[in-house]
Amino acid sequence: MEGVRDNLQRAIDLYPYTVVIRNINRFQSWINSGGAENGAQLRLLADDNFEGNMVPRQPELPARIDLF
């Protein structure tokens, strides 16, 4: 259980893809409902639609270049 939590946390730290957020919500719901103690199966989602989840941010510029 800790491994799932750690992997989901690492995934959300890298980039907040919608599928990762949904899986965190599913995992939390599974935990709240008793999880493995209840005999319930954890069912996570798989998706490859990552392009629609871009988080806009200011581009980073290179350091000043001295021309002369």
Domain assignment present for 20: yes
Domain assignment present for 48: no
Note the pLDDT of residue 1: 80
Provide the pLDDT confidence category of residue 36 given band limits of 50, 70 and 90: confident
Provide the pLDDT confidence category of residue 57 given band limits of 50, 70 and 90: low
> What whole-number distance in Å separates Cα of residue 26 and Cα of residue 5?
11
Provide the domain limits for residue 16.
1-33
- Name, in order, each residue with C-beta under 8 angstroms of 50's C-beta and a sequence gap of 6 or more: 17, 19
Note the pLDDT of residue 48: 78
Note the pLDDT of residue 30: 93
Domain assignment present for 18: yes
